[in-house]
Amino acid sequence: MATENEKIVADFCATWKRMNVDEMLGYFTDDAVYHNIPLDPLKGKSEIRKGLHQFAGMLKGVEIKIVNRVAAGDLVITERIDTMVTPEGKRMDLPVAGVFELRDGKISAWRDYFDMKMAGMA
């Protein structure tokens, strides 16, 4: 049985398919930090909004399959396959480990760990 925090993270991951930045931002605290390791962290909703808009400009959507997840209190850790879908329909699978910290039902910190070369970023 999933915890409430696991459900919040799963629901958030599902929003990526639609690439609706406002919907995504609704899951974050105002002071949240989003960090794709080893890129610079995005601090606060304003910076996170800019980062999400960059993704939205490059991708039609991201289909996220949560392979495994574990929760302890306000911490949810996911093992995922994120499938990036380009506007032309090209698909690329990326294995990702994600760490989510929640506070009062919102994501206050999110760190994703992945291979930069596989993501085409190195």
Q: 5, 102 in Cβ contact below 8 A?
A: yes
Q: 91, 84 in Cβ contact below 8 A?
A: yes
The active-site residue, picked from 11, 30, 40, 82, is 82
Domain ranges of the chain: 4-113
The active-site residue, picked from 22, 93, 104, 112, is 112
Per residue in 79-112, pLDDT tens? Answer: 999 999 988 999 999 999 999 999 999 999 999 9
Residues 6+ apart with CB under 8 A from 22: none
Active site residue 93: no
More confident residue, 29 or 86: 29
Active site residue 82: yes
Q: Is 4-113 CATH 3.40.720.10? A: no
Per residue in 48-86, pLDDT tens? Answer: 999 999 988 888 989 999 999 999 999 999 999 999 998
> ∠ CA 57-80-7 to the nearest 5 degrees?
90
pLDDT score recorded for residue 119: 62
